[in-house]
């Protein structure tokens, strides 16, 4: 567990340092019309770095050398990890909404052993709801695939 904490903190500190560097490039001060572009990212990165430093201190002070994942728990972790990885890879080809529906449906049926009616209702209903929310209400374009193109979006 200690090695996982230290590794995670180190990775997040690298991300925080990158954000600080880029925020400094954009400007972190206060301009005539309000905060400059790098103001909020800079302070969020500073908070991230402080939290990571706290995790490092805690991990170094802990004498616990237990493994991050016990051998028996590895199976359930992989049951979650590989479908999520497949959904992310699939998203490149079919878009966010279809990949989300497929992932949710697969997960509900395989892990949750829900009925087909519940699987279809929830996975399609959630994807259609998020599509309408992002595409029509927030006007935020998300990754789309051939289905959305076929529907005219």
Rounded mean pLDDT, 102-118: 94
| Residue 129 confidence class, pLDDT cut points 50, 70, 90 | very high
pLDDT at 53: 97
pLDDT at 9: 95
pLDDT at 100: 95
Both tokens of 143, joined, read 């990754």
pLDDT at 33: 84
pLDDT at 128: 95
69-95 per-position pLDDT tens digit: 788 888 888 888 899 999 999 999 999
Region at 88 (left for phi over 0; alpha for psi -120 to 50; beta for the rest):
alpha
pLDDT higher at 152 or 89: 89
Percentage above 70 pLDDT, the chain? 100
Rounded mean pLDDT, 118-147: 92
User: Cα(99)–Cα(77) distance, rounded to whole angstroms?
Assistant: 21
Residues in contact with 3: Cβ distance below 8 Å, sequence separation at least 6, in sequence order: 68
- Which helix (H) or strand (E) segment is 31 a member of? strand 30-31
pLDDT at 19: 96
47-58 per-position pLDDT tens digit: 999 999 999 999
Which of 12-16, 59-63, 68-72, 90-94 bottoms out in mean pLDDT, i.e. has the lowest?
A: 68-72
């Amino acid at each position: 567990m200690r090695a996982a904490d230290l590794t995670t903190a180190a990775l997040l500190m690298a991300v925080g340092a990158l954000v600080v560097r880029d925020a400094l490039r954009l400007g972190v001060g206060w301009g005539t019309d309000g905060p400059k572009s790098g103001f909020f990212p800079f302070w969020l990165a500073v908070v991230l770095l402080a939290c990571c430093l706290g995790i490092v201190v805690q991990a170094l002070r802990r004498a616990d050398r237990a493994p991050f994942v016990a051998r028996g728990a590895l199976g359930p972790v992989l049951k979650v990890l590989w479908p999520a990885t497949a959904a992310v890879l699939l998203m490149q080809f079919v878009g966010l909404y279809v990949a989300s529906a497929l992932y949710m449906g697969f997960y509900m049926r395989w892990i949750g052993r829900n009925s087909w009616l519940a699987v279809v209702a929830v996975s399609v209903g959630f994807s259609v709801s998020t599509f309408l929310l992002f595409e029509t209400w927030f006007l935020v374009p998300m990754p789309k695939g051939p289905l959305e193109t076929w529907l005219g979006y």
